[in-house]
Amino acid sequence: MEDFERQLRNALARKQEPPTFEAKVYAAVAAQRSGRGIFWRWATEGAAVVVIASGFWMGYQHENQQRAAGEAAKARLEVALRITVTELSKIQKTVRTSTEDE
């Protein structure tokens, strides 16, 4: 029983912290803060990369769409001019033939 009490007293006795304790605590807090900072820095940089890449991608897509629309408009223009000139040509030929007949 005495042995148990002695052990208990020893365990609960106030002990002087080691001289490196405070330094260890500060180091641990700093490490924790530094880890959190790295995370946020990486997150911010990652977000910036994503935003810039999205911007480039959207610009590329817009340019592609514009090019497709432009090529389509050019093709339509070609069809329209072909029909117009062909019809004018036919009319011109008919007029010329009838003039010659007269």
- DSSP annotation of 19 reads T
Regarding 62 and contact with other proteins (CB under 8 A), the answer is no
Taking CB under 8 A as the criterion, the residue among 46, 55, 59, 70 binding other proteins is 70
Regarding 86 and contact with other proteins (CB under 8 A), the answer is yes
Regarding 28 and contact with other proteins (CB under 8 A), the answer is no
| Tokens 């959207």 sit on residue | 58
Quick one: which segment of 3-11, 40-48, 53-61, 66-74 binds other proteins (CB under 8 A)?
A: 66-74
> Contacts with other proteins: how many residues (CB under 8 A)?
31
- Minimum CB separation from other proteins for residue 102, in Å? 10
Regarding 85 and contact with other proteins (CB under 8 A), the answer is yes
Helix (H) or strand (E) holding 13: none
Regarding 101 and contact with other proteins (CB under 8 A), the answer is no
What tokens does 57 get?
A: 């991608």
Question: Could you tell me what percentage of the chain is helix, strand and coil, using 3-state DSSP and rounding each to the nearest 5?
Answer: 90, 0, 10
Q: What is the DSSP string of 44-84?
A: HHHHHHHHHHHHHHHHHHHHHHHHHHHHHHHHHHHHHHHHH
- Which residues of the chain form contacts with other proteins (CB under 8 A)? 66-67, 69-71, 73-74, 76-96, 98-100
